[in-house]
Structure 1
Amino acid sequence: MASKNPVRWIIQCADWFEERGVYVPGEENRTIDPFRDFGWLIVAWVVTLAVFILFFALAV
């Protein structure tokens, strides 16, 4: 059964990005994959954007 805790969902989403691989220093022979290398940053940006939209939707 899926958890209804939004914090747990955010952590699971970021973990999904990390499971696809992470950047290893010294491994410059491959191209940068934004989902693999910047997973936490992408998740944080999406959550911040959602909170921003929700804030203004409730402010009206």
Structure 2
Amino acid sequence: MQPIALADDDPDNYVYACLDAASPAIEISVAAGLFHDPGDDANPTTSALVLDRTP
């Protein structure tokens, strides 16, 4: 599934992937070089499990 939007409203190096789906995400992966930090360093290939933090 591709995100419908990416959001980044602060300099913390975290980007939010906005999904248009009824089922929750389980894992996310990002290809190398898609994002650059404030020092212009490209991200490596990255993946992580998505944690459910709803109360």
Q: Shorter chain as normaliser: what TM range?
A: under 0.3
Question: Highest Rg: 1 or 2?
Answer: 1
User: TM-score, normalization: structure 1?
Assistant: 0.21
User: TM-score, normalization: structure 2?
Assistant: 0.22
Q: Which has the higher helix share?
A: 1
Structure with higher RCO (Cα < 8 A, 6+ apart): 1
